Every structure is written in C-alpha cells, then in structure tokens.
Amino acid sequence: MGWLDFIASLAGSLAWPAVVATAVVVLRRELRGAVRALERLKYKNFEAEFSRKTAELEQKATALEGRTPADISFPTPRSADELLEDLLRTSPRVAVVEAFALVERAVREAAERHGLSLENRRGVREALGGLDRLGLVPGDVKGLFHDLRTVRNELAHARQAEITEQDAWRYVNVARMLAAHFSKS
C-alpha cells in the first residue's frame, strides 16, 4: 500500500464523519429544537410514566384532604357551547382548536347516522368524503370545512401566532354553524 492508497483510504474512512459534522453545524438550530422536543417525549414509557405520576399525585392529594377521589363530587358537566365561551375568554387559540373538534364530531355523527362505517376510515376527512359521495355535502359546505381546517391547522402549528378574542368568536360561530349543518344532515 503506497502513500496515495493510504490517503485515499483515510479520506474514505473520514468522509461520513465529516458529512455528519457538517450537517450538525449547518442544522444546529433545527437539531436543538428537535432535541428539546425529544427530551419532553419519553418515547415508549411515556404512557406508563404518566399513569404512575398521576397515581402518585392522587395519593398526595388524598393525604392532604383526607378524602378519596370517590368521595369528591365533580361539577355538573357543561355543554360544549359553555366550554367554548369560557375558552374564548381565557385562551382564544384553544377555543379555535376545540371549535373545529366540534365540527369533526358532527361530521362523524352524521356519517354514523347514514350508515358509514368509521372503523376502517382514516378520520374525519374520509367521513366527509363518504357523506359527499351520498350527495349530502354541497360544494360550499365542503369548501368551508377545508377552509376552517386550514385556519385551525395554521393557528395550532404557528408558535408565535396571536389571535384576538373577537376573531376567535367569529371562527367559533362559523364552526358552530357548520356543526349544526352536519347535525341536520
């Protein structure tokens, strides 16, 4: 093996670490965000850990109050509209997300009323497609559904997005109208 062969072998051996090191340097901001997200996600034990921690919290609370969870009476469940109104005042962004969940629930219920099997469906969009194939979803309603979903997704995934209470009220009212449409169909 001559010097040229040795240098070529060395270069070949160091190529992939150099590429990885370059990628880390270039993508360091993105990687930092991904690592932070992974630190908050406990991979496979998350559910078990959450369950264990809530059981521990329940024991601590029981010791404080001297009562068991069975002894505690919970407030009467409130309607979706009441919950949305509270959210509009406290967290307009969450109100938008929950308002669209109301629409999704109405679409699923409409699909079930019309005998569409949701077991093997990929979700609400499939349920909407099934209702559409039955001729139950006018084009403007389908367009409104997709527009609401797009606005909800943009708001939910934008870190710095702010929404006013007034704009959230407008979104929630449109979502209520759309949910009412599906409740009637």
Residues 117-121, mean pLDDT to the nearest whole number = 63
d(C-alpha 61, C-alpha 13), whole Å: 58
Half-sphere exposure of 163 (CA within 13 A, CB side): 27
- Please tell me the predicted confidence (pLDDT) of residue 125: 83
Counting every residue written for the chain, the total comes to: 185
Q: Which residue has the higher pLDDT, 58 or 72?
A: 58
- Residues 134-183 pLDDT 10s: 999 888 888 889 898 998 888 888 777 778 888 888 888 889 889 998 88
d(C-alpha 139, C-alpha 131), whole Å: 12
Please say if the pLDDT value at position 4 is more than 50: yes
SS3 145: helix
- Residues 87-113 pLDDT 10s: 878 888 888 888 899 999 999 899 989
* Burial (0-12, 13-18, 19+ Cβ within 10 Å), 65: exposed
- Residues 22-67 pLDDT 10s: 665 666 666 565 544 443 444 455 455 656 676 777 777 777 666 6
67 and 143 Cβ atoms separated by less than 8 Å = no
DSSP annotation of 137? S
* Burial (0-12, 13-18, 19+ Cβ within 10 Å), 48: exposed
- Please tell me the predicted confidence (pLDDT) of residue 16: 61
Single pTM value for the model: 0.58
d(C-alpha 47, C-alpha 50), whole Å: 5
SS3 114: coil
- Please tell me the predicted confidence (pLDDT) of residue 104: 92
Angle, helices 3-26/28-40, rounded to nearest 10 degrees: 70
